[in-house]
Chain A
């Protein structure tokens, strides 16, 4: 059983004000080509299909194109999509029942009554049946009503309870598709800047991997950098494109998982994805940077000139790099400006402050007589305050 693991498409996202539509179209097309080449049995998209809960018209058309192309792949794979925290459950679920007939499975809603269960897609291969359990983004408040009072206290207990109530057949191979913030003990997944707005830094929304370890493979979404967490078969596949400057060093890819007989470890392959326009950082002096090759890539420039800057550097750089993301200056001057100065914390006594002040004003310090006089007044003030 071969499956392609994707997630966090974030269709419609803007990067520093630039629309990434063309890049996303390009990469989605690339993905479809790869899928055609690999001919997997299933394509799993683990959440965050759109970037906003009310995506723009263009984003919707783009996703429509993508799904249409996928459905024309021969043999047509089963496409399973779950809703992430950025998606609107209602919108993503549009025409879900109809699309089931066309091998597109949308799992956007969590069970609302005790009779409902998670959506399950069962596929067959040479070794038997493989059950795909589709668990959309879940907050404790969404599923509290299914369990007795007080059973669900946080995200971890919610996920755990949701999985336990499914009747999972241990003789089948089981795959879980989920979109949460998973941690393994104290190990946290590596995050980047593009996740910041949605992460709860207090760390209260994490789910420990112990809740999902029994699955043969866990296809995760939510974190934008590809990585494993807790075990080899529990993976985030990452975004298909770089969505922030901090990801410029990552290598984006599709994860292809081959499941063998029950009990064997799945075979993981990473197929690299090459974007239309890369996200890069350039660092150097202005004179060097300005003569680099013209590039359409998304570039973040850090200038290190110590001396006086050229006139209007940003405009000139924009001519070289039309998709300029940002210009930062990093030299001793800015470093010193951004550094917090020491000795701010120490609270000096009024006498010391006064001496310092006097010296600054006059250029010479206080003599003993003046000091004694000021001290006398300070004591008097203190006496008054006390009474």
Chain B
């Protein structure tokens, strides 16, 4: 995982959007530098947050990351583009935060909304990885190959946290390693072995229970008398299993023998039982025959009693047969009688209807006549009235038109009046404006004069002011120069003094010395020897040596001193002269200028400085005031000029307005005339619109709607008259036709009646004849003998049935008498008892046999099973031993030797490799003083979860101590070495995880100079590869040593970062 670009928005101390591009530092070391709290760790936090939704130290929550400097409408998010196995991915993540909403609420205010935490992962091809936050987080962990805990222990050494990997206990380290080095295979192996061992054990147990239950199911123990023996063996079933099995077999054999015996007995009983049954059957048959004979005799007696009924039935049958012959004639006679009566009724009805029709026809004719008379009377006048109304229609239209015209003219008139009023108002307004302007202009007339005055004053004042200013400056200068002059004077005087002194001294010394010389010389003088000086031979007055011993050197010194003093004095004189000149000059200048200002002679004085200063200030203020006034005067002048112009404009407009007013007046008079004409026309038309209902009435005006209505009414009445006439004519015709029809029908009915009477008479005759032929003296006898066909049949059947019954009974009696000749009834009860007994005995025997049989079978089955299970148990036991041994070995549960499992063992392997790689660097860093080693297995004190503990081995003292005894700086070195070692091993193994980035947050401050130098040297070496190492540190030496820096600055509005690359 190597970062390419990091974008933070309103995150941590970054108020706005901060983009950090890593493309220029893709390998080697770079430094993140800045003041405390500038936001350095925030950068690491951002990277860890983007990847794992958590911060580097684990102490800051994602929700705390919103920047307090951020404006409320800026979003908080982190976007990280990084390379993973060579292809770029992008993650964008934001925490929960509140921001202003983009939409306003009902009143137009902005509210705060809560933005939920979200994450998006964009793959190299640009697509987004689908899923919710959890799914995407998992995918990210999969890509990187490490989860958060592992990442922060290997690739990111956070502030104060680096020590955790070092001091983590075995468990945690195991977890990290199992992920990185993929030792889960061994864990799975371990689990599988234990599972299998467990399964096998269970199987064994199941087998044992089955065997026990099989033993319990062996039957027939009590029957064969081996009860006590069996119990004893059963209690020791584990050990004396074979004996148990043998006993069971024996029992089984005895049972079989017993069963055979029982079978023989059962066959005998079977025979006896069959015989008894046969005897019983015979006895029952004989008893039945006797009972039937008794019954038949009784039936015969009954039949004899019913002889009489039979006779009566015969007679009835005969009579009914005769009636049937006569029936035909009777029906014909009845029919004729009925027809005659109906026809008579019909005739009377028809006559009545005919009379009704006659009467109707007469009324219809009368109505028709009345209607025709009315029609003739009314038709003509109505027609006349309608024509009159029609003539008035065009006049109405004309009236309408004239009305519209008049309205239009009135509107025009009103508009013109309005316009006129407006113009009048305008004129008045303009007049007013003119007045006000006039007043203002008079006020400004005096302005130009004022302006000139002011200007003159100002220039004067300025002149004076500058003069005073110059003088003031010069005075200041003068005062300092005066001080100089005084010092120079003092110095000069001093030098003069010194010079005099030195010269005097020198003279004195010189004199003395000379005198001395003279004295010395004189001492050598002897009378007669010439004086070296003058050559005289006599020496009357020899010079004497003075007491003082003055050497040449002293004199020389004095001379040089006096010379020096003289030189010095000359120098001072020169200097003083120059200073003096300058001073006098300046004083002269000041005098002249001062007298100019004051008018009389002027002497410079110190006190004047302050006075002049004040004056100059005063003048300045005055000047300002005058300038203000000048400005105002200028404004007034401008105003006056403008005013004149405006006045001219106003007068022009006034003239325009009055002209327009006149024009409108003219128009108004025209329009009034038009209105009058229209009105007159309307009146004339109105006169012609009158109407009268009847000739006697006076004609009255009528509106158009009334006319139309009247017209309609008249037309309706005319139609009605026509319709009435038509109707009455039709009705009369119809009634006449109706009457004629009914007359015809009466005639036909009479003819029919006569015919029917004749037929009736004939039928009656025939009926009487038939009665006599068939032997019926009267009609009443005939009627009583009638019977239906069904009744007749019934009677005949009853006769024949009786006769059959009699013959049958007789037959039966004869038969039974034959059968029971010479026999007696039998006693069944006794026989039955005997049979029953035999039956029960036989059944019992059968039961016992079958029971024995099932016991034997059952025992057989159990025995075979037992044998099988013994075999299986043996095999299973062996396998279980092997598997459980392996399982215990693998999970480290062996009693005795160090309890370390397979996975831990493998991890130790890798761990030692890691430590070795770490030690290479560690030795270099600490000058071969100590290294890290894995705690040996001998020291593991009986817990299963150790094996990855670290100890510190000191090379010098050959002693081992706990890793917690390392100092802060040493711990940092060790942790750094371990992290580097871990990443080395991972790289070497080309595992699924690529650790090509490393971030170190502080820690260098705890190292002394040499160690730090070594650490940086080591990190430098790493930049050979593809690795990127980012360091946060405030140590100044690192800032100078590392060329590439990301400088983070803290300003009032949040932090900012910038690259400083060389």
> Of residues 1018 to 1039 in B, which have CB atoms within 8 Å of A's CB atoms?
1020-1021, 1023-1024, 1036-1037
Q: In the complex, which residue of chain B has the Cβ closest to the Cβ of A196?
A: B1017
Using a CB-CB cutoff of 8 Å, which residues 958-1010 of chain B contact chain A?
A: 958, 988-989, 1008-1010
Do A344 and B913 form a contact, CB below 8 Å, given A197-B1017, A377-B189? yes
Q: Contact: B1013 with A196, CB < 8 Å?
A: yes
Contacts of A295 in B (CB 8 A): none
List of A residues within 8 angstroms of B1062 by Cβ = 139-142
Q: List 14 A-B contacts (CB under 8 A).
A: A17-B1010, A140-B1062, A201-B1020, A313-B956, A328-B927, A338-B955, A340-B916, A340-B920, A341-B912, A347-B989, A354-B902, A357-B905, A362-B894, A378-B185
Judging by beta carbons under 8 Å apart, are A374 and B956 in contact? no
Tell yes or no: A91 within 8 A of B by CB: no
In the complex the two chains form, what is the Cα distance from A334 to B185 in whole Å?
36
Contact B912 A328 (CB under 8 A): no
Whether A329 and B955, one on each chain, are in contact in the complex, defined by CB atoms closer than 8 angstroms, is yes
Are B1013 and A378 neighbours in the complex by a CB distance under 8 Å? no
Minimum CB–CB distance from A18 to chain B (whole Å) comes to 11
Partner of B185, one of A17, A329, A381: A381
| Inter-subunit contact A374/B886 (CB<8 Å) | yes
Q: Is the CB of B882 within 8 A of A370?
A: yes
Q: Does residue B475 face the partner (Cβ distance < 8 Å to A)?
A: no
Please tell me if A127 contacts chain B, counting CB pairs below 8 Å.
no
CA distance A309 to B955 in the complex (A): 11
Are B1041 and A198 closer than 8 Å at their CB atoms? yes
Expressed in whole angstroms, the Cα–Cα distance for A183 and B897 within the complex equals 61
A17-B1010, A201-B1023, A353-B902 given; 10 more Cβ-contact pairs under 8 Å: A53-B1040, A139-B1043, A139-B1062, A328-B956, A329-B958, A337-B933, A345-B988, A350-B189, A373-B882, A381-B185
Q: How far is the CA of A14 from the CA of B1009 in the complex (A)?
A: 9
The residues in A between 358 and 376 inclusive whose CB is less than 8 angstroms from any CB of B are 358, 360-362, 369-370, 373-374
Please provide the 3 A-B residue pairs with the shortest distance between their CB atoms, ordered closest to farther: A197-B1013, A141-B1062, A196-B1017
Instruction: Say whether A200 faces chain B, with CB atoms less than 8 Å apart.
Output: yes
Contact B1024 A202, beta carbon cutoff 8 Å: yes
Check B928 for interface membership: any CB of A closer than 8 A. Answer: yes
Q: How far is the CB of B926 from chain A (nearest CB, A)?
A: 10
Nearest A-chain residue to B196, judged by Cβ: A377
Residue B906 interfacial (CB < 8 Å): yes
Q: Which residues of B contact A357 (CB under 8 A)?
A: 889, 902, 905-906
Is A228 an interface residue when CB atoms closer than 8 A count as contact? no
Query: A120 on the interface (CB 8 Å rule)?
Result: no
Cα distance A52–B1016 when bound, in Å?
16
Chain A residues within 8 Å of B928, by CB: 328, 338
- CB–CB A341/B1040 < 8 A: no
Instruction: Report which of B883, B919, B1024 forms a contact with A201, defined as CB distance below 8 A.
Output: B1024
- CB of B188 within 8 A of chain A? yes
Taking a contact as CB atoms under 8 Å apart, the answer to whether A373 and B886 are in contact is: yes
CB distance from B595 to the nearest CB of A (A): 48
Tell me the smallest distance from the CB of B174 to a CB of chain A, in Å.
Answer: 16
- Bound CA span A197–B1009, Å: 10
Q: A353 and B906: CB pair below 8 A?
A: yes
Any A CB within 8 A of the CB of B923: yes
CB-CB under 8 A from B890, the residues of chain A are 354
Contacts of A14 in B (CB 8 A): 1009-1010
Most buried by B among A337, A361, A369: A361
Q: Are A344 and B956 in contact (CB under 8 A)?
A: no
A326 CA / B930 CA spacing, docked (Å) = 13
> How many Å lie between the Cα of A326 and that of B989 in the bound state?
37
Q: Is the CB of B1024 within 8 A of A373?
A: no
Docked-complex contact A338 and B957, CB < 8 angstroms: no
Q: Chain B residues near A360 (CB, 8 Å)? A: 905
Q: Say yes or no: A361 contacts B189, CB within 8 Å.
A: no
Of the candidates A52, A197, A314, A340, the one having the most CB atoms from chain B within 10 angstroms of its own CB is A197
Minimum CB–CB distance from B861 to chain A (whole Å) comes to 34
The answer to whether A361 and B889 have CB atoms under 8 Å apart is yes
Query: Are A309 and B957 neighbours in the complex by a CB distance under 8 Å?
Result: yes
A179 CB, nearest partner CB in chain B, Å: 15
With A196-B1017, A198-B1041, A201-B1021 as contacts: A334 and B192 at CB distance below 8 Å: no
CA A380 to CA B191, docked complex, whole Å? 13
* Closest residue of B by beta carbon distance from A366: B886
Residues on A with C-beta less than 8 A from B193 are: 377
User: Is the pair B185, A350 in contact by a Cβ cutoff of 8 Å?
Assistant: yes
The answer to whether A337 and B1013 touch across the interface, beta carbons within 8 angstroms, is no
Asked whether any CB of chain B lies closer than 8 Å to the CB of A16, the reply is yes
Q: Do B189 and A381 touch (CB < 8 A)?
A: yes
In angstroms, Cα B192 to Cα A381, docked, is 9
Partner of A200, one of B906, B913, B956, B1020: B1020
Return chain A residues, CB-CB under 8 Å to B1036: 53-54
In angstroms, Cα B1062 to Cα A370, docked, is: 65
Q: How far is the CA of A144 from the CA of B931 in the complex (A)?
A: 46
B953 is an interface residue with CB less than 8 A from chain A: yes
Q: Which of A1-38 contact B (CB under 8 A)?
A: 14, 16-17
List of B residues within 8 angstroms of A314 by Cβ: 956
- A-chain residues with CB within 8 Å of residue B919 when the two chains form the complex: 338
Report Cα–Cα, A52/B1039, bound state, in Å: 12
A260–B965 Cα gap in the complex (Å)?
A: 65
Given known contacts A140-B1062, A197-B1013, A369-B882, A380 and B192 CB-to-CB distance under 8 angstroms: yes
Q: Mark B920-936, 1 if CB is under 8 A from A, else 0.
A: 10010001100101000
B503 at the interface (CB under 8 A from A): no
A109 smallest CB distance to B (angstroms): 16
Whether B931 and A338, one on each chain, are in contact in the complex, defined by CB atoms closer than 8 angstroms, is yes
CB <8 Å contact, A202 and B1023: yes
Complex Cα distance, B905 from A350, in Å, reads: 12
A327 on interface, CB distance cutoff 8 Å: yes
Choose among A16, A314, A357, A373 the residue with the greatest number of B CB atoms under 10 Å from its CB. Answer: A357
Q: Which residues of B contact A196 (CB under 8 A)?
A: 1013-1014, 1017
What residues on B are CB-neighbors of A188 within 8 Å?
none
Q: How far does the alpha carbon of A328 sit from the alpha carbon of B956 in the complex, in Å?
A: 6
Chain B residue numbers with a CB within 8 Å of A327 are 956
Give chain B nearest CB distance to A200 CB in angstroms.
Answer: 7
Q: Contacts A354-B902, A370-B886 hold; do A378 and B1041 have CB atoms under 8 A apart?
A: no
Q: How far is the CA of A337 from the CA of B922 in the complex (A)?
A: 13
Q: Is the CB of A337 within 8 A of B186?
A: no
B40 to chain A, nearest CB (A): 21
Residues of chain A contacted by B1043 (CB below 8 angstroms): 139
Q: B residues within 8 A CB of A53?
A: 1036, 1040
Q: Does B1061 make an interface contact (CB < 8 A)?
A: yes
B923 and A338 within 8 A (CB) = yes
Which of the listed residues B28, B188, B988 has the most CB atoms from chain A within 10 Å of its own CB? B188
Contact A326 B886 (CB under 8 A): no
Given A313-B956, A361-B897, do A378 and B189 touch, yes or no (CB 8 Å)?
A: yes
* Complexed CA–CA distance, A337 and B919 (Å): 10
Tell me the nearest residue of chain A to B933, going by C-beta. A337
Structural contact, B189 and A341, CB atoms closer than 8 A: no
A373 with B189: CB separation less than 8 A: no
The CA of A201 and the CA of B28, in the complex, are separated in Å by 11
* Min CB gap A23→B, angstroms: 17
* Complex alpha-carbon distance, A341 and B897, angstroms: 25
A139–B1043 Cα distance when bound, in Å, is 10
Whole-angstrom CA separation of A345 from B985 in the bound complex: 10
Q: How many angstroms between the C-alpha atoms of A358 and B892 in the bound complex? A: 10
The reply on A333 being an interface residue by CB < 8 A is yes
C-alpha gap A347/B985 in the complex (Å) = 12
**Chain A residues with CB below 8 A from B906, complex form:** 353, 357
Q: A326 to B1014, alpha carbons, bound, how many Å?
A: 15
Assuming A53-B1040, A141-B1062, A361-B894, is B1014 touching A309 (CB within 8 A)?
no
What is the CA–CA distance of A358 and B902 in the complex, to the nearest angstrom? 9
1/0 per residue B561-592: CB within 8 Å of A? Answer: 00000000000000000000000000000000
Q: Are B1021 and A328 in contact (CB under 8 A)?
A: no
Residues of A within 8 A of B883 (CB): 373
B916 lies within 8 A of A344 (CB)? yes
CA distance A140 to B193 in the complex (A): 66
